[in-house]
Structure 1
Amino acid sequence: MSQMLALALLTLILFIGDAVAVRTKAWIPSIFVCAVLFLLGYWTFFPQDIVALAGIPSATATMLMYLLITNMGTLLSLKELKAQWKTIVIALSGIVGVVTVLMSIGVLLFGFKTMVVATPPLVGGLVSSLLMSDAANAAGLSSLAVLGIVIYVIQGFAGYPITSIVLKKEGQRLLKLYQKGELQAKQANSTVEKTEAKTNQSKWKLPEKYNTDFFKFFKLAFVAYLAYLVSTVLAPLVEISPFVLCLLFGVIATSIGFLEKQVLQKANGFGLAILALMLFVLDGLNRATPSMLLELLFPLVGSIVLAIIGMYIFSFIAGKVLKVSKHLAFAVSLTALYGFPADYIITNEVIKSLTDDEEEKAVLTSHMLPPMLVGGFITVTIVSVILAGIFVGFL
């Protein structure tokens, strides 16, 4: 198979996944469709190294992970997170619930190493799944490497419908309060934050004609290199994943204005990075035989069920303490199963289903959307990467 034929087939699969997700309003996630098509391809005519053949070997994927995770750090708005501190506490409590239940009951049922591989993808997304899959492969645990990817593929099926149900209940509660005159729309004010961001960036930013895509890539790569360098210096004292430090260094570099927010998008590299990493993650399915998938079915379903139970119990307790609705608290915790953009899509779909009145939609949006977005950012973008960096050392 030629390189361009391989690339054309793989990008067609990604497009089909997106098309199905759009058509079904994300109820059938694109990653699931892609995974099924990849499996069918590997079981029929795909070469086992089709992703590398298409031009994405492991070294390229690793490089893009450094850039992508550092770019994640640029998304962090300290002011927004401060305003949503209750959401952060609830999101973290849900993750604590997942870790507690899986590393106790889950270990008893499925074994320690299985739960080590399963836990980070269950509170994260693409990056944590890839980290755990690579670590399992390096440890010679090929079936568990597949489990890390399959969990990432399947978990949304549990998260989407449950989130929709609890958000509808929360929306109905908020509408009743609004109709009684006891609730108003929240007004977002980001003027101060935007002014501070411009002041910070003026310290580092070159004149626009020199601020090229290559300069943006250089700054991103330089920050990622600093994170890698610090991880190697600290290695004799403490093992810290360079990817965890990339996230931290991305936040710091953005806070001081060295990196722009979403710098990878502005350098026109985000789409290609996601495409390459998606293909590299799905490439892990080339070892998945039908018998292996049947063998993984019990730990797969069991770990997802246990994770959701842990999320519910701990988010319920946190919601009670912080006086946040149990429905909203549970929905925020569930964002760990899918993250952005599914959290945005589901919330908007629920709001549209509850009312046609524009004022009511605005009220629901102002009270429901910010916590859902922040919850997804905390769980999938930040904590899952940190957790994966820690759990890698257990294999």
Structure 2
Amino acid sequence: MSQLLALVIVVGILFVGDVVATRTKAWVPSMFICATLFLFGYWTFFPTNIVEIAGIPPAVATMLMYFLITNMGTLLSLQELKRQWKTVLIALSGILGIIAILFTIGALLFDFETVVVAIPPLVGGVVSALIMSEAAANAGLISLSVFAIVIYVMQGFAGYPLTSVVLKKEGKNLLEKYRNGQLALKEAEGESAAASESSELKLFRKLPEKYNTDFFKFFRLAVVAYLAFLASELLSPLVSVSPFVLCLLFGVIATTVGFLERQPLQKANGFGFAIMGLMLFIFDGLNQATPSMMMEILYPLVACIVLGVIGMYLFSFIMGKILKVSKEMAFAVSLTALYGFPADYIITNEVIKSLTDDEKEKAVLTSHMLPPMLVGGFVTVTIVSVILAGIFVGFL
């Protein structure tokens, strides 16, 4: 198969996944469609290295991971996290619930390695799934390497409908309070704060804008990622810390001191390509998934997702009681771990539109429901899942 034909096929699959997700308003996730098509291809006519043939070998995928995780760090607004401290605690409690249930009940049902591989993808996104998949493959656990990818692909089917149900209940309660005069529009603190925060490069204040080229943005991202890698190497004799975890931390620090602007990868017009390359590498992990292997991991897949959701509900319910947050909102926030952005944004807006046609009521619901959902998704998928993956890799 030629490189260009392979490229057309694999990118075409990503496009089909996007189309289906858009048409179904994200009820059928693009990840599921893409994974299904890749599996069909691998079981029929795809060469097992079709992604590498298309131009994304492992070395390129690793480079893109360093760029993307460092870029994630630039998105972290410490001020918004402070304002949404209740949301942060609820999101963390949901993750703690997953860990507690899977390490107790899950450990009785499956072996230790299965539980370890399941948790980071279950509470996170593409990066944590890829970290655990590679770690399992390096440890010779091929079926668990596939399991890490599949659990990431499938978890949305539990998260999407459950979130919609609890958000609708929360929205109806809020509307009733608003119509009774017990609730008012909440100022969009996060948006105003984000707008007021300067994205100025403090360390390059005197640099003419014409020299802040796309390549300069890539260069600074690479420097920060390299410093994170060096720190990981220096710490390795004392403690094993994944360089990807440090990339996240160094991204935050570099943005705070003014070495990086916010979202440099997007501003350098490289975000879309980086995501495409990383997604293709994720699906490349399915090339060893035989039909018999898929049947073998079906039981732990379903059980881990069900147990994880139960753990989320129990712990977020308790934390919600303590912080006086409704159980519906608390559960919805914890469920963002199963999908993150942009699904948290899409589902919340779809629910709001379904509850009322009045623009003022929509604004009230948006001001009370959207900020916690966005912060919850950011905390779980962007921050904690990468840290957990970096820690759990050492258990394999």
Mark yes or no: TM-score above 0.5.
yes
**Shift in CA distance, 284/179, structure 1 to aligned 2, threshold 3 Å:** same
- Tell me the residue number matched to 2:139: 139
Partner Cα distance (1:275, 1:195) in 2: 32
**Shift in CA distance, 288/207, structure 1 to aligned 2, threshold 3 Å:** same
Question: Deviation string for 1:315-358 (max 9, x for gaps)?
Answer: 00000000001000000000000000000000000000000000
Partner Cα distance (1:246, 1:313) in 2: 32
State the secondary structure of the residue aligned to 1:329. helix
- Tell me the residue number matched to 1:22: 22
Question: Deviation string for 1:172-205 (max 9, x for gaps)?
Answer: 000011001111111124556545524x524324
| Alpha-carbon contact 1:197-1:257 (below 8 Å) kept | no
Partner Cα distance (1:42, 1:178) in 2: 54
- Tell me the residue number matched to 2:270: 269
Partner Cα distance (2:91, 2:228) in 1: 26
- Tell me the residue number matched to 1:214: 215
State the secondary structure of the residue aligned to 1:165. helix
Partner Cα distance (1:195, 1:380) in 2: 26
Letter in 2 for 1:376: G
How many aligned residue pairs are there? 394
- Tell me the residue number matched to 1:50: 50
- Tell me the residue number matched to 2:337: 336
Partner Cα distance (1:87, 1:132) in 2: 27
Question: Deviation string for 1:27-60 (max 9, x for gaps)?
Answer: 0000000000000000110000000111111011
Letter in 1 for 2:264: V
Partner Cα distance (1:294, 1:328) in 2: 35
Question: Deviation string for 1:229-261 (max 9, x for gaps)?
Answer: 000001001100000000000011111121111
- Tell me the residue number matched to 2:107: 107
- Tell me the residue number matched to 1:245: 246
Partner Cα distance (1:34, 1:41) in 2: 10
Partner Cα distance (2:238, 2:203) in 1: 35
Partner Cα distance (2:186, 2:362) in 1: 12
Partner Cα distance (1:263, 1:96) in 2: 32
Question: Deviation string for 1:102-132 (max 9, x for gaps)?
Answer: 1111111011000100000000010000000
Partner Cα distance (1:304, 1:69) in 2: 25
Letter in 1 for 2:3: Q
Partner Cα distance (2:35, 2:145) in 1: 15
- Tell me the residue number matched to 2:318: 317
State the secondary structure of the residue aligned to 2:181. coil
Letter in 2 for 1:197: S
The range that moved more, 256-265 or 385-394, is 256-265
Partner Cα distance (2:193, 2:115) in 1: 44
Q: TM-score, normalised by structure 1?
A: 0.98
Counterparts of 1:290-305 in structure 2, within 5 Å, are: 290-305=291-306
State the secondary structure of the residue aligned to 1:209. helix
| Alpha-carbon contact 1:91-1:333 (below 8 Å) kept | yes
Letter in 1 for 2:30: S
Matched, 1:255 2:256: yes
Partner Cα distance (2:221, 2:195) in 1: 21
- Tell me the residue number matched to 2:94: 94
| Alpha-carbon contact 2:167-2:329 (below 8 Å) kept | yes
Partner Cα distance (2:294, 2:38) in 1: 14
Question: Deviation string for 1:75-103 (max 9, x for gaps)?
Answer: 11111111100000000000000001011
Counterparts of 1:382-393 in structure 2, within 5 Å, are: 382-393=383-394
**Shift in CA distance, 291/193, structure 1 to aligned 2, threshold 3 Å:** closer
- Tell me the residue number matched to 1:4: 4
Specify every segment of 5 or more residues in structure 2 that has no aligned partner in the other structure, as ranges: none
Partner Cα distance (1:187, 1:150) in 2: 40
Question: Deviation string for 1:131-190 (max 9, x for gaps)?
Answer: 000000000000000000000110000000000000000000000110011111111245
After superposition, the CA RMSD in angstroms is 1.0
1:295 Cα deviation after fit: 0.6
Matched, 1:158 2:135: no
- Tell me the residue number matched to 1:67: 67
State the secondary structure of the residue aligned to 2:349. helix
State the secondary structure of the residue aligned to 2:198. helix
| Alpha-carbon contact 2:202-2:259 (below 8 Å) kept | no
Q: Equivalent pairs: percent with the same residue?
A: 72
Partner Cα distance (1:3, 1:35) in 2: 21
Partner Cα distance (2:377, 2:142) in 1: 29
Specify every segment of 5 or more residues in structure 1 that has no aligned partner in the other structure, as ranges: none
Partner Cα distance (1:55, 1:191) in 2: 42
Q: TM-score, normalised by structure 2?
A: 0.98
- Tell me the residue number matched to 1:187: 187
Partner Cα distance (2:164, 2:282) in 1: 28
Letter in 2 for 1:120: P
1:363 Cα deviation after fit: 0.2
The range that moved more, 187-196 or 172-181, is 187-196
